[in-house]
Amino acid sequence: MIVVNTEYLPGMSIVEVKGLVQGSTVRAKHMGRDIAAGIKNLFGGELKGYTELLVESRREAVRRMIAQATDLGANAVLNVRFATSSITAGAAELYAYGTAVVVVEQA
């Protein structure tokens, strides 16, 4: 599966648009990460626990988006974007979406 954030693929032609595909995950903060983040806030620096949480969340959302595109018979997802939203205190959704298409190499 080709996954890109561009509207087209150089050297490829779109032969069929399958439609919008998306994947999401809602993750809650871990108390241990919250404590470590609170301490880190006092001194500054990267909040590695949250960085890891976001990386895991992006991977899961993309995996689910690709699974949906595969089910539709697509071989690429174009114009991929990410969005986040707060669900409740301590939990957030990471959402990945794009356009599932069938592409072939140009002659």
Instruction: Give the model's pLDDT for residue 37.
Output: 53
Angle at 29 between CA 26 and CA 35, to 5 degrees: 170
Cα dihedral 61, 62, 67, 71, rounded to 10, equals 110
- What does the mean pLDDT of the chain come to? 87
pLDDT, residue 4, reads 98
pLDDT of the residue at 69? 98
Domains delineated in the chain: 2-28+55-105 (3.30.110.70)
Residue 46's H or E segment, with its range, is none
Can you tell me the distance from the alpha carbon of 6 to that of 78, in angstroms, rounded to the nearest whole number?
6
DSSP letter at 106 equals -
pTM: 0.83
Rg (CA), the chain: 18
pLDDT tens, 51-87?
A: 888 889 999 999 999 999 999 999 999 999 999 888 8
